[in-house]
């Protein structure tokens, strides 16, 4: 019996059991296939980052003495679909078994499982992905008997479990959460650091040229490509973040800038998701910065909570509830995506800048995703599938296990409040408080009706009115429903008309694959 070890494009980590346990002469396969680049129109920077990282990883594996079979996108005999290609490679090398680490997407995990039980072709064996703090099994145990799981409870359990930011059994600094020190608006922020530029070697340049021709029709530009494609480059990004951005991360975590796409965010999600960095080393580097006195606790705790808390939590929810989770649409939202998400053609300054930055960098930070593009789609009743396809396509870090709960659950509240206890809907006033967009916008965030009124305002009240059942009963929404209920009938009608008139001005597209994709 001979085994082929298949390493997927987002599993580029030498610590995975599939590689750690591999004998010296093991055959390892990495397969670029057209299908994975196209099932949604991935941003060219995302595709280029992954392919360049895969090719560099193949070099690392060869240097360690492994026999590597690398299927390139433009190989003439490439089957261009992952399972058939892996089986073809297995046959080529006389392997009767294929080992693979659990894919990050239910779709692919299911396809491999179906193949495994069909007992046709080589035997498939799926190994756990050990890169996470919380295994799927541990998460399932934690979920037992919980009707309404909450991230905060999960996070505390994980802090205790890992000992991260803990002294004995108590959180360092005497609190689990320092958010009240965070959330400063953009106005007070010092100039953010600029990201280090990565050198592009011949291999990376070759991939950039390949992607430019193969995926020329996809949304996004390759021009500013600066993603890490080796572990070394990813470690340089980590060091840069810890030294230059982490100290301000907490304070400006929720701020939005018209100019700066990254502010004090780490830009580490893509490297984490494809395996160039491990969450454990990233969190430890942040904790170490606090222990050395190089970063304040509010920043370090806030940062670690995103990775040890949110990242692990959404992954747990994903695997626990798929495939049903993906079908949820509890607010019965039925519109396609506004066309401006693909062409940037909008005069809402905040939305335009978030889409432009996405187009240019395959990146927007969390608050842009949540409170600008996400909030707008929520207020416009965009169907979960339409919005999820967009988020999965346009960000360098997009993998379904993390994208779906964030989009369907956190942004669209389409899971009925399972992930987030209240919708993150907000009016223009919130965006005005946290950003410097509004002074450069043709709309006025203080007005709700009339030609100059910020569209977010009327849309916000329309949303609350439409979903009073079930949202009015939510204790966290009581104050805002109190305000709505005190409004005169005329004012409510004027707001409703303002919102409907605005919605009529938008052009709608269907989800990718159902036509009209620009
Ligand atoms: P930082 O702000 O520096 O945060 C540090 C790290 O924490 C990130 O690198 C990331 O690994 C983790 N993190 C932060 N917030 C979250 C979160 N809500 N869920 C999970 N991990 C988190 N993140 C992805 O990695 N892939 C996605 O496909 C993705 N889709 C998203 C879609 C929507 C609609 C929203 C609202 C959020 C999404 N996120 C996704 C979460 C978050 O926005 C990104 O992880 C973050 O913006 C990446 O930038 P950063 O590395 O600079 O993050
Ligand atoms: Fe966005 Fe409204 Fe501000 Fe314009 S006025 S930038 S649309 S929040």
Question: Tens digits of per-residue pLDDT, 2-60?
Answer: 999 999 999 999 999 999 989 888 899 999 998 887 778 899 999 999 999 999 999 99
Going from the Cα of 390 to the center of ligand 2, the distance in angstroms, rounded, reads 22
pTM, rounded to two decimals? 0.96
What residue's CA is closest to ligand 2, atom 2?
A: 454
Query: Does residue 80 sit in helix, strand or coil?
Result: coil
> β-strands 170-171, 337-338: how paired?
unpaired
Among all ligands shown, which has an atom nearest to the Cα of 443?
2
CA of 186 to the centre of ligand 2 (A): 15
Count Cβ atoms below 10 Å from residue 39 Cβ, excluding itself.
16
**C-alpha 492 to ligand 2 mean position (Å):** 21
- 285: number of CA atoms within 13 Å, CB side? 20
Rounded Cα gap, residues 156 and 176, in angstroms: 7
What's the 453 CA to ligand 2 centre distance in angstroms?
9
Q: Is the CB of residue 393 below 6 angstroms from any atom belonging to ligand 1?
A: no
Distance 101 CA to ligand 1 centre (A): 23
Closest by CA position to 126, among listed 136, 139, 140, 141: 136
The answer to whether the CB of 270 is under 6 A from ligand 1 is no
- Which CATH architecture fits 136-198+229-321? Alpha Horseshoe (1.25)
pLDDT given at position 510: 60
Q: Is 265 in the pocket of ligand 1 (CB under 6 A)?
A: yes
464 CB within 6 A, ligand 2:
no
Q: Low-confidence residues of the chain, pLDDT below 50?
A: 513, 515-518
Ligand 1 pocket test target in 241, 283, 306, 370 with most atoms within 8 Å of CB: 306
Which CATH number applies to 3-127? 3.40.50.620
DSSP element (H, E) containing 495: helix 489-505
Structural domain boundaries in the chain:
3-127, 136-198+229-321, 329-509
Tell me, what's the pLDDT at 37? 73
Quote the ipTM score.
0.99
Decide: 371 in ligand 2 pocket, CB within 6 A: no
Of 353, 376, 428, which is best to mutate to test ligand 2, by the most ligand atoms within 8 angstroms of its C-beta?
A: 428
Distance 402 CA to ligand 1 centre (A): 8
Strand locations in 216-323, DSSP E?
none
Quote the tokens at residue 123.
């035997």
Q: Is the CB of 427 under 6 A from ligand 2?
A: no
Q: List pLDDT tens digits, range 368-395.
A: 999 999 999 999 999 999 999 999 999 9
Q: Considering all CA atoms of the chain, what is the largest pairwise distance in Å, rounded to the nearest integer?
A: 77
Q: Which helix (H) or strand (E) holds 337?
A: strand 337-338
319 CA to middle of ligand 1, Å? 18
Cα–Cα distance measured from residue 320 to residue 314, given in angstroms and rounded to the nearest whole number: 10
CA distances from 16 to 22, 99, 232, 233, 487 (A): 10, 12, 18, 20, 58
**What's the confidence (pLDDT) of residue 1?**
84
- Ligand 1 near 267 CB (within 6 A): yes
pLDDT for 184 equals 86
410 lines ligand 1 (CB under 6 A): yes
Please state which CATH number belongs to domain 329-509. 1.10.579.10
Asked if residue 268 has its Cβ within 6 Å of ligand 1, the reply is yes
Residue whose CA is at the smallest distance from ligand 2 atom 3: 438
Q: Is 374 in the pocket of ligand 1 (CB under 6 A)?
A: yes
Q: Is the CB of 398 under 6 A from ligand 1?
A: yes
Q: What are phi and psi of 246, to 5 degrees?
A: -55, -40
Query: What are 123's strand-pairing partners?
Result: 97
b/e per residue 14-31 (b: at least 16 CB within 10 A): eebebbeebeeebbbbbb
365 lines ligand 2 (CB under 6 A): no
Which ligand minimizes its atom distance to the CA of 282? 1
Ligand 1, residue 253: give the atom nearest the CA.
Answer: 2
Query: What is the CA(265)–ligand 1 centre distance, in A?
Result: 10
> What is the pLDDT, as a whole number, of residue 515?
41
């Amino acid at each position: 019996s001979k085994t082929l070890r298949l390493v997927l494009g987002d599993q580029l980590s030498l610590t995975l059991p599939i590689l750690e346990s591999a004998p010296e002469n093991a055959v390892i396969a990495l397969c670029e296939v057209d299908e994975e680049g196209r099932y949604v129109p991935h941003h060219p920077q995302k595709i280029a980052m992954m392919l360049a990282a895969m090719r560099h990883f193949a070099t690392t594996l060869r240097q360690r003495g492994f026999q590597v079979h690398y299927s390139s996108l433009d190989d003439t005999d490439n089957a261009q679909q992952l399972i058939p290609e892996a089986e073809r490679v297995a046959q080529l090398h006389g392997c009767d078994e294929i080992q693979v680490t659990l894919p990050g997407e239910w779709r692919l995990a299911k396809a491999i499982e179906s193949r495994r039980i069909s007992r046709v072709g080589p035997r498939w064996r799926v190994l756990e992905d050990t890169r996470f703090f919380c295994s799927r099994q541990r998460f399932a145990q934690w979920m037992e008997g919980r009707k309404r799981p909450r991230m905060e409870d999960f996070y505390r359990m994980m802090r205790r479990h890992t000992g991260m930011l803990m002294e004995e059994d108590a959180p360092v600094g005497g609190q689990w959460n320092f958010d009240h020190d965070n959330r400063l608006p953009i106005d007070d922020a010092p100039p953010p650091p600029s990201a280090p530029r990565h050198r592009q070697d011949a291999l990376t340049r070759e991939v950039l040229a390949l992607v430019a021709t193969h995926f020329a029709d996809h949304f996004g530009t390759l021009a500013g490509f600066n993603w890490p494609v080796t572990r070394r480059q990813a470690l340089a990004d980590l060091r840069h973040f810890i030294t230059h951005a982490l100290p301000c991360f907490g304070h400006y975590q929720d701020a939005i800038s018209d100019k700066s796409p990254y502010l004090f965010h780490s830009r580490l999600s893509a490297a984490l998701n494809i395996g160039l960095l491990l969450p454990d080393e990233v969190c430890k580097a942040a904790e170490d910065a606090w222990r050395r006195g190089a970063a304040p606790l509010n920043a370090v705790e806030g940062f670690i909570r995103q990775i040890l808390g949110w990242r692990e939590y959404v992954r747990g929810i994903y695997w626990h509830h798929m495939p049903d989770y993906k079908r949820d649409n509890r607010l019965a939202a039925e519109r396609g995506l506004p066309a401006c998400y693909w062409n940037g053609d909008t005069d809402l300054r905040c939305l335009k800048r978030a889409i432009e930055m996405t187009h240019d960098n395959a990146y927007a930070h969390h608050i842009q995703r949540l409170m600008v593009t996400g909030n707008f789609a929520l207020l416009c009743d965009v169907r979960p599938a339409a919005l999820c396809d967009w988020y999965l396509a346009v960000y360098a870090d997009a993998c379904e296990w993390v994208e779906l709960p964030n989009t369907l659950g956190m942004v669209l509240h389409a899971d009925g409040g399972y992930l987030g206890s209240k919708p993150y809907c907000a009016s223009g006033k919130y965006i005005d408080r946290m950003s410097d967009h509004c002074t450069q916008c043709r709309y006025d965030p203080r007005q709700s009706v009339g030609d100059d009124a910020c569209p977010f305002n009327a849309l916000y009240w329309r949303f609350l009115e439409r979903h009073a059942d079930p949202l009015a009963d939510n204790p966290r929404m009581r104050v805002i429903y109190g305000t709505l209920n005190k409004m005169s009938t005329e004012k409510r009608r004027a707001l409703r008309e303002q919102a409907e008139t605005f919605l009529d001005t938008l052009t709608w597209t269907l989800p990718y694959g159902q036509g009209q994709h620009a």
